[in-house]
Amino acid sequence: MRFPFWRRGRRNEELSEEMRAHLTLAEREAMEAGQSQKEAQHAARREFGNVGVAEEVTRDAWGWRWIAEAFEDVRYGLRNMLRTPGFTAVTILTLALGIGANTAIFSVVNTVLFRALPYRDAGRLVWATNFVPGQAQNLVFADEYAGYKTENHMFENIAAYSAVAEYTLTGTGTPERLRGAQVTESFLNVLGVTPQLGRNFLPEEDRPVGSKAVLLSNAVWRANFSADPNVLGKVIALDDTPYTVVGVLRPDFEFLDNSPADVLVPFQLADTSIEYLKNGQVRGRIQPLSVVARLRPGSTVAGVVSELNAINKRVIESLPGNLKQLLGEAQAQVFLLHDHEVGNVRPALLVLLGAVGFVLLVACANVANLQLARAAGREKEVAIRGALGAGRWRLARLLLTESSAIALAGGVAGLMLAAWVIGVIHRSAPANIPHLQGARLDLRVLVFTLGVSLLTGILFGLAPVLAAFRVSLNNTLKEGGSQSGTGAGTRRAQRVLMVAEIALSFVLFIGAGLLMKSFYQLTAIQPGFDPYGVLTARVALPLDQYQSIDQQRSFFQQLVERLQGLPGVASAGATASIPLRGNMMMISTIQIEGQAPMDQATMNAATASINAVTPGYFAALRVPLVEGRFLDARDGADAPHSVVVNQAFVRRFFEKEDPIGKRFNAGMGPVTRGPQSWTIVGVIGDTKQQGLASEVLPEATASALQWPRLMMTLALRTSVEPLSLVSAVRKQVSELDKNLPVYAVQTMEDVLSAEVASQRFNAGALAGFAGLAVLLAGVGIYGVMAYAVSQGTREMGVRIALGAETGNVLRMILGQGLRLAVTGVALGLAASFGLTRLMSGLLFGVKPSDPETFVLVTAALLVVALAACWIPAWRATRVDPVIALRYE
Amino acid sequence: MTSPKKGYQNRTEILQGTLDMLILQTLQWAPRHGYALSKALRTNSGEILKVDTGSLYPALHRLERKGWIAAEWKASEVGPKLRVYRLTKSGRKQLVSERSRWERITMAIAGIMNPGKEES
């Protein structure tokens, strides 16, 4: 019969009873042989031996011993921890910092990188685009998509979408601006997603002139239709066009590109972008679209690339000449959808994960050092245990149990720390990291933390274990007094750990330094205007009600006049494209009058962005004038068509000539409704349209009075707090047209801040980790040196007694510390040269081997190391030789 | 620490293995309690083998755990309740294999100790 562990109490009783019976029988026999009871008892006992030992080894036969011992070890460990509360607190705090930082970053990585996309069998979804070298951008257009759809062999299903659409929803209370996406009817099928209510689009709704249908996101359904299930079949007004609601998406539906979509409408894509005009001319209306597809089982990304390239080649061959020039040599780029969605944040997160791993290693090294120092004091205890018969593994288990208990305590504290850090991340992280708000302590993170804690326990627990293995029982027991001292091995281990700490901190410090420098490089870039004290907001006119150019012109003219009159507004303007918020300008080919026609082969280079602004815009953003004049009241609707151009335009098209007064034609391109010939009246400074880090493209800016636009961004330079004017702006707009929403309201300062947010986050996070590591390393160096000095008290005493100068002693100890620090820095240098290359993608304006950063960090770390050595060294000089020599 | 997964580890230790074999052999004819077993071992070996109780009881419990012997509490006419061990079926099998192993070893040892006899 086997006794389970929990019944071992009963088993033990039986065992005692069995032993007692044995003794009784032996006694009885001895008495029968004529001995007295007392003699018999003694004889039986003698013969039997140690009852306790017999019982214990018999119990061992049942294999419970290790469990009992584990309990003992834990109890012992806890007792030990409580006996030295200061030491325990420092250890647990150190570990908590390391483990907490790791848990927090892992929870982010877990949510962002390891998260499964919420689509069916998402591993087979790919995202495809074409890189067009001449345009220096990614672009797929309808002809290519039509080719993919009919000719591919690799896809089970394919869909196209475009997420740039915005719609004004009216008729449900205040007008609202919704972010929409045009999708082909196959879109939801490719993703393997079904609506919560209603149905997907029908094929006939996705034809070029099909009926207008719409799918609502769950959020819009709840917010604007009070979650009414009868919304199906209802006709709603988007941009004053009636759309029939055919379905409602699920709450967990996620659109692609990490961008929200409030409504989905059928793409109604034609098979070609080419229009053949009556006059024989060919016109292309290129609408860039994105492609998402589901791979057939067995298809590979590489196979898809070559197939799409073959289709591209055929499609582009069939295009008319100038389009062929513009779009030629399209190179297919295909990514797994997961990579596409998280690809741009992966390097940063992996660098952060690596960095916190380093922090944990530093923490481990530190704790291992503390443990070693303590283990030295416990050598005696270990030796006695060994002498009493504890096996080596038994001792190792004891020490490892103890360190694991400490590590787990550190893990629990670390979890609490992580919960707090995750809160901070939620508040401070840049918006460009998708799904970050979902970062939390879930089961996977808890398992990670548990694993890290246990691993940590083993890692820092190993050092004292190895030291214990080397303990020679005889020597330790023979050595008298409390000054048994540390063995050479332990001291060497401490030095190795210290060097490792310095090297790891150095690498982190370098990484942080490079990122901080990138951040400052980025913030040092002049955006080309004054972003402080500017309010921006968007207004888009529905084409149905503002069909004529006069209507469009007069609306914005009136609006800007009204805004200009508001108290607190210094100057008001409107622009088709505002800096730093994505280039919304039209791109057109440019033909300068009087210059040789652009060579067909180089035509790609002869393009410029065309903006349209109301005259007040320049003052509102304080764009500098370089030459000539700004656009103003002289450039009214009926005046000659004038533009100002930026300096990049001048550099591109007028190498030596004075651009003022020159004329150019905006040739082929979507500038279809604007007049064709423009006179340059001024040159303005370059402004960063796409982003601070982007290159400034040639731009020509026309007056919105001469080239009115439907959607414009308002820019108000205010003499008061910009956001205090928001309701006044809304009021002015609704007085002109109560159905127009004012949206995308932001101060320019916030735009600028969001622009550098991810750099700031990376730099801040890594700086935090590096600071933590340097702090830990500093404390570690201090601990090791202080301990070494205290161990060497007698040596100091002798030296001082023999006449060593204070300076000599100081120099000696500092020299010891410095040697270790230099070794650590050298190793760190070597490692950094290799490792910083991995983060080159995160850097801006800094080389991974930036000498300035390397020199500064080296100096800083040496100073920290010296400072950490200074105090113990200084203390060593205070040693009173009499006391030191009497110490033993 | 004996782990059931590692099998019968004591095989390599002749003494330990021998004790187990002797216990099984002694229990072959009749169930016995611990004290009777120790007495039987001593008597049957002509007082040469004196089994230490510190070895006997661990061996008994180990064999019980292997399932080669089974134990049962029995009231005795003379006093304390006694734990009586008997050989199980698998114990019988084990005895056979232990025995043949033992014979092989003793023959081998005999061969080394008395080389002349082998040749003749």
Single-letter residue type at B83: R
How far is C-alpha A56 from the chain's CA centre? Answer: 57
Residue position matching structure tokens 């709450």: A251
Lowest average pLDDT, out of A548-562, A785-799, A805-819, goes to A785-799
Which of A704, A739, A774 finishes a domain? A739
Mean pLDDT of chain A: 82
The model's pLDDT over A122-136, given as tens digits with 9 standing for 90+, comes to: 889 999 988 877 666
Determine, yes or no, domain membership for A233: yes
Determine, yes or no, domain membership for A528: no
- Between the two ends of chain A, the Cα-to-Cα distance in Å is 60
% of residues, chain B, pLDDT over 70: 79
Q: Are A425 and A107 in contact (CB under 8 A)?
A: no
The verdict on B31 touching A (C-beta cutoff 8 Å) is no
Single-letter residue type at A256: L
Lookup: tokens for A45: 């006992």
Which pLDDT band holds residue A472 (cuts at 50, 70, 90)? low
CB < 8 Å & 24+ apart, contacts of B33-37 = B33/A21, B33/A25, B33/B74, B33/B82, B33/B83, B33/B84, B33/B85, B34/A18, B34/A21, B34/A22, B34/B60, B34/B83, B34/B85, B35/A21, B35/A22, B35/A25, B35/A26, B35/B82, B36/A25, B37/B85
In this structure, are A153 and A271 located in the same domain? yes
Higher pLDDT, A172 or A278: A172
- What CA–CA distance (Å, rounded) separates A703 from A705? 5
In this structure, are A391 and A457 located in the same domain? yes
In this structure, are A579 and A689 located in the same domain? yes
Domain ranges of chain B: 13-112
B2, B3, B35 member nearest A25 (Cβ)? B35
If residue A305 lies in a helix (H) or strand (E), which one and from where to where?
Answer: helix A301-317
Minimal C-alpha gap between B75 and chain A (Å): 11
The model's pLDDT over B16-44, given as tens digits with 9 standing for 90+, comes to: 567 888 888 888 888 888 888 888 887 87
Higher pLDDT, A45 or A262: A262
Determine, yes or no, domain membership for A304: yes
% of residues, chain A, pLDDT over 90: 24
pLDDT at A802 over 50: yes
Determine, yes or no, domain membership for A226: yes
Residue among A356, A359, A362, A339 nearest A425 (CA): A356
Which pLDDT band holds residue B118 (cuts at 50, 70, 90)? very low
Determine, yes or no, domain membership for A186: yes
| Those residues with Cβ within 8 angstroms of residue A653's Cβ, 6 or more apart along the chain or in another chain | A590, A592, A595, A606, A608, A659, A664, A698
Q: Which of A94-98, A431-435, A465-469, A777-781 has the highest mean pLDDT?
A: A94-98
pLDDT at A17 over 50: yes
The model's pLDDT over A181-223, given as tens digits with 9 standing for 90+, comes to: 999 999 999 999 999 999 999 988 888 887 899 999 999 999 8
Pick among B53, B73, B76, B77 to test the A interface (most A CBs inside 10 A): B53
Which of A690, A706, A739 finishes a domain? A739
In this structure, are A142 and A206 located in the same domain? yes
Using an 8 Å CB-CB cutoff, list chain A residues near B3.
63
Which of A712, A739, A766 finishes a domain? A739
Q: Are A607 and A587 in contact (CB under 8 A)?
A: yes
Determine, yes or no, domain membership for A9: yes
Report the pLDDT value the prediction gives residue A480, as an integer from 0 to 100: 44
β-pairing, A699-703 vs A642-646, is: antiparallel
Verify whether the Cβ–Cβ distance A50 to B54 is below 8 Å. Answer: yes
As a residue count, chain B comes to 120
Determine, yes or no, domain membership for A664: yes
- Rg (chain A; Cα; Å): 38
Report the pLDDT value the prediction gives residue A61, as an integer from 0 to 100: 67
Cα–Cα distances in Å, from A569 out to A113, A322, A403, A579, A724?
45, 47, 66, 20, 11
The model's pLDDT over A653-688, given as tens digits with 9 standing for 90+, comes to: 888 889 999 988 875 433 445 556 889 999 999 998
Average pLDDT over residues A310-314: 90
Using an 8 Å CB-CB cutoff, list chain B residues near A47.
53
Minimal C-alpha gap between B25 and chain A (Å): 20
The verdict on B71 touching A (C-beta cutoff 8 Å) is yes
Report the pLDDT value the prediction gives residue A369, as an integer from 0 to 100: 81
In this structure, are A316 and A352 located in the same domain? no
In this structure, are A690 and A577 located in the same domain? yes
Residue among A769, A90, A85, A75 nearest A370 (CA): A90
Report the pLDDT value the prediction gives residue A876, as an integer from 0 to 100: 74
Output the 3-class SS for A759-816: HHHHHHHHHHHHHHHHHHHHHHHHHHHHHHHHHCHHHHHHHHHCCCCHHHHHHHHHHH
The verdict on B49 touching A (C-beta cutoff 8 Å) is no
Average pLDDT over residues B59-87: 84
Which pLDDT band holds residue B51 (cuts at 50, 70, 90)? confident
Pick among A10, A22, A53 to test the B interface (most B CBs inside 10 A): A22
Number of structural domains, chain A? 4
Report the pLDDT value the prediction gives residue A198, as an integer from 0 to 100: 92
Higher pLDDT, A792 or A43: A43
In this structure, are A722 and A779 located in the same domain? no
pLDDT at A238 over 70: yes
In this structure, are A352 and A413 located in the same domain? yes
- B13-112 — its CATH code? 1.10.10.10
The verdict on B53 touching A (C-beta cutoff 8 Å) is yes
Average pLDDT over residues A748-777: 85
pLDDT at A888 over 80: no
Which pLDDT band holds residue A346 (cuts at 50, 70, 90)? confident
Lowest average pLDDT, out of A149-158, A255-264, A279-288, A312-321, goes to A279-288
Angle among Cα A399, A504, A492 to the nearest 5 degrees reads: 50
What ipTM score was computed for the predicted complex, to two decimals? 0.75
Higher pLDDT, A877 or A231: A231
Size of interface A-B (CB pairs under 8 A): 74
The residue segments making up the domain with residue A24 are 5-63
In this structure, are A356 and A313 located in the same domain? no
Report the pLDDT value the prediction gives residue A668, as an integer from 0 to 100: 40
Where b means 16+ CB within 10 Å and e means fewer, A338-374 reads bebbbeebeebbebbebbbbbbbbbbbbbbbbbbbbe
The model's pLDDT over A267-293, given as tens digits with 9 standing for 90+, comes to: 988 888 777 766 666 666 677 789 999
Single-letter residue type at A25: L
pLDDT at A91 over 50: yes
Pick among B32, B47, B51, B57 to test the A interface (most A CBs inside 10 A): B57
Determine, yes or no, domain membership for A100: no
